Amino acid sequence: MVGKTIKKWWPIFVLPTLAAFIIGFLWPFIWGIYLSFCKFTTVQDVTFVGFSNYAKLMLDKSFSHSFWLTVVFAFVSSILINVLAFTIALALTKGFRGTNVFRTVFFMPNLIGGIVLGYIWQTLLNGLLSKWGQPLLALSAKNGFIGMLILLMWQQIGYMMIIYVAGLNNVSPDLIEAAQIDGATSRQILFKIKIPMIMPSVTICTFLTLTNGFKMFDQNLSLTGGAPGKQSQLLALNIYDTFYARSGPMWKGIGQAKAVVFFILVVAIALIQLKATSSKEVQQ
């Protein structure tokens, strides 16, 4: 009955969101897919060129470099963040003193924006590197990569830790007590009870860390700016760079084609990951 009554009220309830969604997402998305098959510098001089942008992007060495760099970065950062966040969460659910203070501290970096985070870590890491006589972030792709990993870990461990703490607090103490009475070691309790019981948290945390790793832009821009050359450029920055930093009539089309490839990559990884980890969830 509620459904029937409010159905004709859609201009008030749905239309504002729907209209904004079309303006802010749906139309730009569809238009973007179309433009990836075109050559253009502004929206007035669009000519259809078929798949040639896609053929050209295969030849762009900076693209394949940043593609693989992003894949490695996303997986490595996701694993490190999840393992460390889970370890801290385990420590914080043991009922030690001061747990709340630690939780507050670990979560804090998450609220700072990516641009500012990049400059904070640039100052700190360049200081350390010059003390140790190592090349600075902007001069060494390896140091830049490690720097981005450290930065993203600092930013996201707290967030994931909060989710893991909530998951661990939901594991019924009865279950653990029963296992202890049956003589299970704390190692067995961890691997046979706690981890299987918090698989939903693992699913959501891997999803968030993987997609954040793939989509990382602000931190990359401010920490290394892609330097040296384009060697520490992740995909998002590479696409931005193709659009706005390269002159030449063909680059915008290629940039849009890169964005489509990027989009397909992120969606595919997200789907595969959700399927893989949610199949391991236990029904309670």
Considering only the stretches 8-16, 58-66, 74-82, 141-149, report the one whose residues sit in contact with another protein under the rule CB under 8 A.
Answer: 8-16
Region binding another protein by CB under 8 A among candidate stretches 12-20, 72-80, 140-148, 187-195: 12-20
> Which CB atom, from 200 or from 228, has the smaller least distance to another protein?
200
For residue 126, what are its two tokens?
Answer: 């360049």
Q: Minimum Å distance from CB 68 to another protein?
A: 17
271 burial (CB, 10 Å; 0-12 / 13-18 / 19+) is: exposed
Would residue 248 be called left, alpha or beta, if left means φ above 0 and alpha means ψ between -120 and 50 degrees?
left
Site residues (CB under 8 A) for another protein, limited to 126-145: 126-127, 130-131, 136
- SS3 for 39? strand
Single out the residue of 47, 50, 173, 187 in contact with another protein (rule: CB under 8 A): 173
- Reference 261, options 25, 21, 70; nearest CA is 70
Cβ closest to another protein, residue 120 vs residue 195: 120
Residues of this chain, 238-267, that bind another protein according to CB under 8 A: 239-240, 243, 252, 255-256, 259-260, 262-263, 266-267
Q: Find the part of the chain contacting another protein (CB under 8 A) among 27-35, 46-54, 56-64, 138-146.
A: 27-35
Nearer to another protein, 232 or 242 (CB): 242
Secondary structure of 181-217 in HEC code, one letter for each residue: HCCCCHHHHHHHHHHHHCHHHHHHHHHHHHHHHHHCC
Relative orientation angle of helices 61-92 and 141-170, to the nearest 10 degrees? 40
* Residue 48 phi, psi (nearest 5): -75, 130
- Window 175-214: residues binding another protein (CB under 8 A): 176-177, 180, 200-201, 204-205, 207-208, 211, 214
User: Shortest distance, CB of residue 3 to another protein, whole angstroms?
Assistant: 5
- Report how far residue 124's alpha carbon sits from residue 248's, in angstroms, rounded to the nearest whole number: 38
Interface of this chain with another protein, residues 67 to 106, rule: CB under 8 A: 91-92, 94-98, 101-106
- From candidates 75, 270, 273, 281, binder to another protein by CB under 8 A: 270
Q: Is 14 in the site for another protein (CB under 8 A)?
A: yes
> Considering the complex, what minimum distance in angstroms separates the CB of residue 62 from another protein?
15
Question: Which residue number, 141 or 254, has a Cβ lying nearer to another protein?
Answer: 254
The CB-of-152 to another protein minimum distance in angstroms stands at 13
| Helical ranges in 132-172 per DSSP H | 141-170
CA-wise closest residue to 146 among 62, 67, 80, 241: 80
- The token pair at 271 is 């789907």
Structure tokens at 84: 């460390």
Residue 65 contacts another protein per CB under 8 A: no
